Each structure stands twice: as structure tokens, then as C-alpha cells.
Amino acid sequence: MGDPSTVTMRIWRGDTNGGGFEDHDVEVSSGEVVLDVLHRIQATQAPDLAVRWNCKAGRCGSCSAEVNGVPRLTCMTRMSILDPAEPITVAPMRTFPIIKDLVTDVSYNYEMSKRVPPFRPKPKPPDGHRMFQEDIERVQEFRKCIECFLCQNVCHVIRDHEENKPHFAGPRMFIRYAELEMHPLDSGDRRDLLQEEMGLGLCNITKCCSEVCPEDIHITDNAIIPLKERVVDRKYDPIVWLGKAIKGRRSGRAE
Amino acid sequence: MNTKTAENRDGLAASVRPRFQTLRRDRWWRAPLVTVVVLVGFIVYGTWVAFANEHYFTDPYLSPFYSPCLASNCAHVTLPVIGDWWTLSPALLILPFPLGFRLTCYYYRKAYYRGFWLSPPACAVTEPHRRYTGETRFPLILQNIHRYFFYLAIPFPIILFVDGIRAFSFPDGFGMGLGTLILLVNAGLLGAYTLSCHSCRHLCGGHVDVFSRSPVRSRLWLFVSRLNVRHGEIAWVSLFGVALTDVYVRLVSTGVISDPRFF
């Protein structure tokens, strides 16, 4: 795509009352991303097109949408990877209620975020807390999350089953739980909450969240599966339970 | 220029609800289809081998489907813990353990939930089920016993490695054939598959919060984590490895091919 070429962008337009796809023929230049083209359409053909965006650098997680059916950040999706011979569809994230055009109401995620029990530090020893890089390295991966909610959007547990929303935290929140559970200074235990109220058992580890993560966080392998294993320690593994009970009795602590 | 088409945001009219609703244009169906074909092929072959009860041993090679051979009716007994009363194939005594390990494996779960149960068939492709309870109820809640199958699976690669060592001992003395190499590679692949398991990763050190206080566990966890990144690939390669090792032993045993000797 050297010189400007024309492509057809098929964009979903509508609001809570419904809507449909609208075709826009638009020029595309070399190096442009989908968000550039959406802005051109906004500037030249559809000034009322609603698009949520902010940094245009893959850092803010605002411009999430579904390009040719694949959940992506529009600011990080180069036009050159899309086939210009066919109309390029851009649709809003399907899992969340529509506000207007490509803008969805993602407040479900913030509601779930409020339900995460916060960091509870261990009592401070006289010489203060000490942490080493190896202690914190594992949870640093989870801090890369930009909250684009593409993982929440693609997760079939809520994407295809709206009824699961009240009792399913979703992949984004699971990495938050993992971050707290694996934190060397946290004293909280969220395993019962995860299994009984946050729907950890609903995840069938099909890894779509990891596939769409623009930060390449290994959500399933490094957060969800380790959380499931910790829940097994707590609820389903009599050997671990017995070992901890004996250890607790020896050290005079009740499990 | 713009034209509007009356469609919902799935790209299809709401009245037309096909099974796999998606706007994806790539061949998303290819991966689940390949999974189904390969796994069905393995299940059919494995079932036939398990019940065949012949041509699984040709001195000094023992098929991994029949190792360890625990019944006294074995062509090559590893440990005679089961007496003459067992008249069925000795493979049936041991296969439930590696089968359970693979069936509850986190990687295979992804593969068969997508391929067989279509839940979902691929990312951003609508699944056909009306209700979904995941792994919260019986029988899928039993997936949580994966670590017990891991414990039970640990001896298998070790036993198969011993079989590989024994495969240097030919009736005419010490030697090495292509079969020896195949048996050793198969044991190595199964060892890698077992070690790279997510439960193994957790038990080695994943449950530890302060790695600096557990340096041995920390190193173990790092080692297993490096393998774990490739768990999916190792799962497939080791599956093919087991089947091909059995095919090789079977072909040598039936005289279809002769085993080339290196020395």
C-alpha cells in the first residue's frame, strides 16, 4: 500500500434503539492504522460517528473494537494487514451494552473491579518490609494491563451468556486477583471468593483472553490456571489440606 | 459515499441466528477441525491397540501402550502384580492413568472444549449452547483432580526410560537399533510433557508467594515455567510419539519391517 488507495470500511452505526452497518469508501495511505481511517471518515463523511479513543499509541486501552470480527485495539491495527479487496468491518465490542456507534458501556468491568478485596499488607517487621526482584517479577507482568477490556469482551462466558455477568469477574479481574494473591506482602486469601462468587470455575481455559491481549499478558497460563490450582489447594486437595493441618498443629496454629 | 445495511452488530439479521455467528473472515474452523480429526484418530488407534493384546513386544522393544506390563499374561512382564485371573489385555490395567492425565490436562481441555464441545469453537465465534456452567458442576468439576493424575503419571516416563535402557540388550548381546532410539525419544517426550504440566508448575513453586525465601522452589518453578510455555506443542508431539513408537514396535513385531541396528 504505497500510494493512497481506496477501501470500503463497513462500520456499525447505531445506538440503544438498534442500528446496522454503513459502508464508507475512504482513502488509505501507507502506514495508517484503523483508527486513522475512522478519524478520516469522521472528518470527511460522518462527523457524528462516535469513536472512543485517547492516546493512539496502544497505552490507554480506549479504542477497543472488533475489526473483521477480531477484537483489537484500532490504534494498533495496521490497515496493511487487512485485505483491501473486501469491505473491512469495524463493530463495537459485542459483550458490552451499546452507547453509540463504536462506543460501548464498559461499566460492568468497573463494578467487578470494585468487588476485588484490596491489598492487605502483612504486619510490618521491625526492620521494615524487604522485597527482592524475584519476589515481584511474576506479578509485574499483570501490571502491564491497560484495561482495554478486549479479554472481557472475547470471553465466551459472558459474551455468549449474558446471565453469567453478575457472578463472573472475567479475565481482566482474574489477573488483578492473581496479582494480589501472588504478592509477597499481601496477607489476604481470596480463594473462596474466587470459586464461590467470582466464577473462576466458569472459565474453561480456552485462552481467547490471552490471544487478544495487546500487552501479550499470558492471562490463562500465568494468572487463571495458577488461581485454579490455588483453589484446588484450598478446596479439592486433601493431601495439601492434611499437610497444612499437621504443619499448623506442630507450630501451634489452627488451620 | 455511504450505504446502510440493516444488520445487527454481529453482522447478521437478528431473525437469522446461525450456529456460529461471527464477523471473522479467516479460517477459524481449521484449528478445531484439525483437533477433532487428530484426537479421534488417536482414540480409534489407541482403543484398537489397547484391546489388540498382541504384537506389542519384540525383543528387546516393548510398546509404550503396554508398559509397565503388570499382568502375568504379558508377553514381557515388567512387574507381575496381577495374577492369571486377568485374562483381558494388560494395557487396560495401565492406560486409564495416562488417559486421565491427558483428559484433565489444561492444554487438552482447551483443545477439546473448542474442538468437540464448541465452547467456543474459536475466539469471537458464538458457541451453540444455550446454557453454560463451565467447570462448576459434575462432571466437569472433576477436572480439579488433574494433579492426582499428574502424581499417577510421574512413574510412566521413568518406566519408559528404563524400557529404553533395556532396549540396548538384544538376544545376541549389547547393541542399539532404531527402536532403541525411538523408545528413548518417546520416554523423553513423555517426560517433557509430564514436567511441563501446569499442576507440576504449581506444585514445584507456583504456590509460593515469596520466592527469595525458597530458592530451590524458585529455580524449580523457573525451570518448569520454561517448559510450560511449550506445553501445548509438547502435548501434541508426545501424543504422536506414543502412537508412532507403538506403530514401530508393531511393524517390527509382525515382520513388516526389520529393525536397523546401529551396532
Q: Do A71 and B120 touch (CB under 8 A)?
A: no
Q: Which residue of A has its CA nearest to B126?
A: A160
Percent of chain A with pLDDT over 90: 87
Whether residue B253 contacts residue B179, with contact meaning beta carbons closer than 8 Å, is answered with no
| pLDDT for A255 | 36
Whether residue B194 contacts residue A114, with contact meaning beta carbons closer than 8 Å, is answered with no
Q: Do A184 and B210 touch (CB under 8 A)?
A: yes
Q: Would an 8 Å CB–CB cutoff place B13 in contact with chain A?
A: no
| Residue A1 predicted with pLDDT over 50 | no
Distance from CA of B190 to the nearest CA of A (A): 20
Q: Would an 8 Å CB–CB cutoff place B132 in contact with chain A?
A: yes
Total domain count, chain B: 1
| pLDDT for A236 | 86
Asked whether residue B6 is assigned to any structural domain, the reply reads no
Q: Which residues pair with A5 in a beta bridge?
A: A28
pLDDT band per the 50, 70, 90 thresholds, residue B9: low
Give the residue numbers spanning the domain of B174. 22-254
Q: Would an 8 Å CB–CB cutoff place A25 in contact with chain B?
A: yes
Asked whether residue B168 is assigned to any structural domain, the reply reads yes
Asked whether residue B148 is assigned to any structural domain, the reply reads yes
For the domain with range A107-240, which CATH number is right: 1.10.1060.10, 3.40.1390.30, 3.20.20.140, 3.40.190.10?
A: 1.10.1060.10
Q: Would an 8 Å CB–CB cutoff place B166 in contact with chain A?
A: no
| Residue A98 predicted with pLDDT over 60 | yes
pLDDT band per the 50, 70, 90 thresholds, residue A254: very low
H or E segment and range at residue A247: helix A238-250
Q: What does the pLDDT look like over A54-80, one tens digit per residue?
A: 999 999 999 999 999 999 999 999 999
Asked whether residue B228 is assigned to any structural domain, the reply reads yes
| pLDDT for B15 | 41
Q: Do B25 and A94 touch (CB under 8 A)?
A: no
**Residue in A10, A11, A21 to test binding to B, most B beta-carbons within 10 Å:** A21
What residue type is A83 in one-letter code? D
For A48-150, strand residue ranges (E) read 64-67, 70-73, 88-91, 98-100, 103-104
pLDDT band per the 50, 70, 90 thresholds, residue A239: confident
Q: Give me the mean pLDDT over the A101-122 stretch.
A: 96
CB-neighbour burial class of residue A60 (10 A; exposed 0-12, middle 13-18, buried 19+): middle
Q: Measured between CB atoms, which of B110, B136, B229 is closest to A205?
A: B110
The distance of Cα B16 from the centroid of its chain, to the nearest Å, equals 39
Q: How many helices (H) and strands (E) in chain A? A: 10, 7
Class of the domain covering A6-104: alpha beta
pTM passes above 0.90: yes
Q: Which residue of B has its CA nearest to A167?
A: B133
HSE-CB at B189 with a 13 A cutoff on CA atoms is: 21
Distance CA B62, CA B44 (A): 21
Percent of chain B with pLDDT over 90: 87
Q: What does the pLDDT look like over B17-72, one tens digit per residue?
A: 445 689 999 999 999 999 999 999 999 999 999 999 999 999 999 999 999 999 99
Q: What does the pLDDT look like over B200-241, one tens digit per residue?
A: 999 999 999 999 999 999 999 999 999 999 999 999 999 999
**Residue in A64, A182, A232 to test binding to B, most B beta-carbons within 10 Å:** A232
Distance CA B147, CA A229 (A): 9
Mean pLDDT across chain B: 92
Dig out the grid coordinates for B14 from the structure.
Answer: 437478528
Q: Would an 8 Å CB–CB cutoff place B19 in contact with chain A?
A: no
User: A39-48, A81-90, A246-255, B170-179: lowest mean pLDDT where?
Assistant: A246-255
| pLDDT for B156 | 97
ipTM rounded to 2 decimals = 0.91
Distance from CA of B91 to the nearest CA of A (A): 29
Backbone angles phi, psi at A72, to 5 degrees: -150, 165
Distance CA B194, CA B173 (A): 33
| pLDDT for B3 | 55
| Residue A120 predicted with pLDDT over 70 | yes
What residue type is B69 in one-letter code? C
Asked whether residue B12 is assigned to any structural domain, the reply reads no
Give B144's DSSP letter: G
Asked whether residue B1 is assigned to any structural domain, the reply reads no
Q: What does the pLDDT look like over A135-166, one tens digit per residue?
A: 999 999 999 999 999 999 999 999 999 999 99
Which chain B residues are closer than 8 Å to A69 by Cβ?
A: 11, 22-25, 124
Q: Measured between CB atoms, which of A13, A45, A204 is closest to B134?
A: A204
| Residue B97 predicted with pLDDT over 60 | yes
Same fold: A6-104 with A107-240: no
| pLDDT for B114 | 97
Distance from CA of A247 to the nearest CA of B (A): 16
pLDDT band per the 50, 70, 90 thresholds, residue A251: low
Q: Do A203 and B9 touch (CB under 8 A)?
A: no
Can you give the residue ranges of every domain in chain A? 6-104, 107-240
Q: Would an 8 Å CB–CB cutoff place B6 in contact with chain A?
A: yes
Distance CA B135, CA A194 (A): 13
Asked whether residue B11 is assigned to any structural domain, the reply reads no
CB-neighbour burial class of residue A89 (10 A; exposed 0-12, middle 13-18, buried 19+): buried
Asked whether residue B263 is assigned to any structural domain, the reply reads no
Helix, strand and coil percent figures for chain A, each rounded to 5? 40, 15, 40
| pLDDT for A169 | 97
